[in-house]
A and B are shown apart, each in its own frame.
Chain A
Amino acid sequence: MSGDRPGGSTADVEGAMTRPPDEDAPWQPSAAPFVFWAVLLGGLSALQAGFGGRSLPVLVQAGAAAATGLIGIVILISPRVIRRRAAGLRTVPDLSLASALVGISLAAMLAGASVGSWLILGGFLGVAAGTGGLVREHRFERRTRVASLEGRSENASEIEP
């Protein structure tokens, strides 16, 4: 399956997959914009309430503040995870027909609500097939990553068609 293949020449793939963790380089989590936004939106929600705003608009705005703050907190408490994922070994897919299939099938399912149940069913089957394809791609990527870490050369034969 073409979606299984990581792309580029061997050197390209190695370069992209094995960006070295640079412990000394300044790297910081990006929570600041989220926290700044959450505080500002929270303050504006309170201001709106102070101006006699109705419950729905105040709640919508406060909800946006809470959502942004939550993302900021997640980023704040997980910098190690983000850093490891950012700097560590990664496989890069070149093709993923399964991803396209999932997108198109979701659209078919939704349109099926007006067109007919046959389209909902078709869309559902497409989503199922696409999800299966994604699982398969992830498995292959894991194998590729392990093989690359162990220094085996099977990866090169995979990418040379």
Chain B
Amino acid sequence: MSTAAVSIRSLGLVGVIGATDHKSIARRTVVVAFAFFIAGGILALLIRTQLATPSTGLVGADAFDALFTMHGSTMIYLFLVPTAIALGVYLVPLQVGAAEIAGPRLCLTGFWLYVSGGLVMWSGYLTVDGPGAAGWTAFDPLSDSPHSPGVGMDFWIFGVMLATLGCLVMASCVLGTIVARRAPGMTLLRLAPFTWTMLVTCLMVIVSFPVLVIAMALLWIQRDFGGIFDSTGGPIAYQNLFWFYGHPVVYVMFFPFVGAVAEVVSVHSGRRLFGYRPFAISLLAFTALSTSVWAHHMFTTGQVANRYFALTSTALAVPAGIEYFDLIATLAGGRIRLRTPMLFALAFLVQFLIGGLTGILLGSPPLDYDVHNTYFVIAHFHYALFAGSLFGCFAGVYHWFPKVTGVMLRERLGRLHFWVMTLGANLTFFPMFIDGWEGMRRRTDSYPASAGWQTLNDLSTAGAGVIAISVVVFVVNVARSLRDPEPAGPDPWDGHTLEWATSSPPPRHNFAGLPPVRSPAPLLDLREAATARSVGDSPTPIHAEAAG
């Protein structure tokens, strides 16, 4: 350990505020994001408690509006997006063999913009009128001053702007690292699968996030001065700007975890990723298409080219299918180790499929008209983002935790976490498909007792409680593993990519030396070469017989 590293640790708070090491920035981002995840999760429990019976009356209608607004906003702007980008901030420099992220100071500024954004958004709860309550989309005119009075809504807008700007800045640093900091030999077609997913994620971030920042600035001007979205087409213009961010962001919260799953699947199957090149090309096509489907959220407005957006939305199934095929083909014939990361990765594959296929259904205008604004949509995107992305995220967490901390997570607690969370996720979100299909509207704080939805809602509420228990199990696992550490060593999984070529946790400048990079799996190359050498050196059966 370097002397300077010791001195930074001894600096305490100063180090927490100002350390520019990409690993430190990523760790801090994940810790803050996890805190917001807990906060957003508590809001979700309140929402589910309210809906457990037709008219529970736990909170009033206005407070309920604030609950679902802050739940959605927290989970998207303050948890999943920053976590996805933080994974890139930590891993991309390591996977491309760089000593540092490009623009470490900028990255640190981005982190603080994100943290400040979260605090500003949540400080709405300290205001007289409460926080933003116009949904995570803040459609105009619902979000304008007459309909959403109070400074809390302004705080929500500023919070979104700051958090988004912070994530944009951090993603730019990740992109810059991929463009300009790759180790000798690391060509584009030798990037690790995870780094490929971060590359395309950052592409989406740099084209879509600035549009949201502009949309939020315009929304604030509209609230305070008017004249922006007042015309007949104003609200539709806002929706176009918002969804140009709002749909790609779903993939920003998805692709890094696809990358994590691809790494987990290949490493824990002991095989190279099947179809690496088609995988990379399909990622590029997938993300370009996903930046071209946003108005399927606006089918019912009648103000967009429905046929075009239905076509692009349905076409997403093609690159998605290629990626699924690659992942499944990697599993086929592999020496599969069913450890906790692999369990989460497999569940991701199954559960995201449910979210993805119902997404294609929603991409069809006639069907979308039927279920628009219902719990069917809620179920769809929770299967995509919770049962999909979050499971992919946990696959990555269990896979890379030993690298980040130098300590293995407890396997038995990990499995318990997995099974409880799988039960909870499906118990919570599957009944919502049926609720929505039967017409239960989203964003409602009560429903008629005669509708017959209570049983399904009870199941969802119970499921939310089960999810909460699973999160507690995870926290206990982390705490126990750190308190009573089982050392991981530099490469506990027989990893394929460069991050496993250094110590756990990696030193300040990541590498003492790098292996030659001749494929996307340089460490696997080394192992295979060593195996080939040992086979070549050992006596063949004929020689052995002669020697005997």
Q: Tell me, yes or no, whether A binds B.
A: yes
Residues of chain A touching chain B, judged by Cβ–Cβ distance below 8 Å, are 2-3, 5, 7-9, 12-13, 15-16, 19, 22, 25-30, 32-34, 36-37, 40-41, 44, 47-48, 51-54, 56-57, 60-61, 64, 67-68, 71, 75, 82, 85-86, 90, 92-100, 102-104, 106-108, 110-111, 113-115, 134, 137, 159-161
| Contact, CB under 8 Å: B4 / A22 | no
Q: Which residues of B contact A102 (CB under 8 A)?
A: 109, 112
Q: Which residues of B contact A47 (CB under 8 A)?
A: 308
A33 and B203 contact, Cβ closer than 8 Å, known pairs A61-B291, A103-B116: yes
| Contact, CB under 8 Å: B112 / A103 | yes
Residue of A nearest to B106 (CB): A99
| Contact, CB under 8 Å: A15 / B509 | yes
Which of B184, B284, B289 has the most chain A CB atoms inside 10 A of its CB? B184
| Contact, CB under 8 Å: B285 / A94 | no
Q: Kindly state whether residue B338 has any CB partner on chain A within 8 Å.
A: no
A94 and B3 contact, Cβ closer than 8 Å, known pairs A100-B112, A103-B108, A103-B110: no
| Contact, CB under 8 Å: B308 / A64 | no
| Contact, CB under 8 Å: B2 / A30 | no
| Contact, CB under 8 Å: A27 / B184 | yes
Closest 9 CB pairs of A and B: A103-B112, A107-B116, A25-B184, A51-B308, A16-B509, A9-B2, A16-B99, A40-B288, A22-B184
In the bound assembly, the distance between CA atoms of A8 and B7 in angstroms comes to 10
| Contact, CB under 8 Å: B105 / A8 | no
Q: Which residues of A contact B166 (CB under 8 A)?
A: 103
Known: A9-B4, A33-B200, A137-B105. 20 other contacts (CB 8 A): A13-B509, A15-B512, A16-B100, A25-B184, A27-B182, A33-B284, A34-B203, A40-B285, A40-B289, A41-B292, A57-B304, A64-B208, A67-B206, A94-B21, A96-B20, A99-B106, A100-B18, A103-B108, A103-B112, A106-B162
Which residue of B199, B303, B311, B512 contacts A54 across the interface (Cβ within 8 Å)? B303
> Please, could you name 9 A-B residue pairs with CB atoms under 8 Å apart, sorted by A?
A9-B2, A26-B187, A40-B284, A57-B295, A64-B244, A92-B99, A97-B17, A103-B116, A137-B105
In the bound assembly, the distance between CA atoms of A27 and B7 in angstroms comes to 36
- Per DSSP, chain A at the interface is helix
Residue of B nearest to A159 (CB): B4
Residues of chain B touching chain A, judged by Cβ–Cβ distance below 8 Å, are 2-5, 7-8, 11, 14-15, 17-21, 99-100, 104-106, 108-113, 116-117, 120, 151, 154-155, 158, 161-162, 166, 178-182, 184-185, 187-188, 199-200, 203, 206-208, 211, 220, 237, 240-241, 244, 284-285, 287-289, 291-292, 295, 303-305, 307-308, 311-312, 507-509, 512
| Contact, CB under 8 Å: A114 / B158 | yes
| Nearest CB in chain B: distance from A47 CB, A | 6
| Nearest CB in chain B: distance from A159 CB, A | 6
In the bound assembly, the distance between CA atoms of A44 and B292 in angstroms comes to 7
In the bound assembly, the distance between CA atoms of A103 and B21 in angstroms comes to 17
Which of B4, B100, B178 has the most chain A CB atoms inside 10 A of its CB? B4
Q: Which residues of A contact B284 (CB under 8 A)?
A: 33, 36-37, 40
| Contact, CB under 8 Å: B312 / A8 | no
| Contact, CB under 8 Å: A15 / B99 | yes
| Nearest CB in chain B: distance from A161 CB, A | 5
A114 and B8 contact, Cβ closer than 8 Å, known pairs A57-B240, A67-B207, A107-B116: no
Q: Which residues of A contact B220 (CB under 8 A)?
A: 113
| Contact, CB under 8 Å: A92 / B188 | no
In the bound assembly, the distance between CA atoms of A87 and B228 in angstroms comes to 48
| Contact, CB under 8 Å: B188 / A32 | yes
| Nearest CB in chain A: distance from B157 CB, A | 9
Which residue of A37, A54, A114, A137 contacts B288 across the interface (Cβ within 8 Å)? A37
Residue of B nearest to A36 (CB): B284
| Contact, CB under 8 Å: B292 / A95 | no
Residue of B nearest to A11 (CB): B2
A114 and B308 contact, Cβ closer than 8 Å, known pairs A5-B4, A7-B508, A97-B18: no
Residue of A nearest to B217 (CB): A110
| Contact, CB under 8 Å: A57 / B305 | yes
| Contact, CB under 8 Å: B240 / A51 | no
Residue of A nearest to B517 (CB): A25
Which residue of B113, B185, B208, B509 contacts A92 across the interface (Cβ within 8 Å)? B509
In the bound assembly, the distance between CA atoms of A134 and B184 in angstroms comes to 30
In the bound assembly, the distance between CA atoms of A7 and B182 in angstroms comes to 21
Residue of B nearest to A68 (CB): B207
Residue of A nearest to B220 (CB): A113
A56 and B4 contact, Cβ closer than 8 Å, known pairs A68-B207, A100-B108: no
Which residue of A25, A67, A86, A107 contacts B120 across the interface (Cβ within 8 Å)? A107
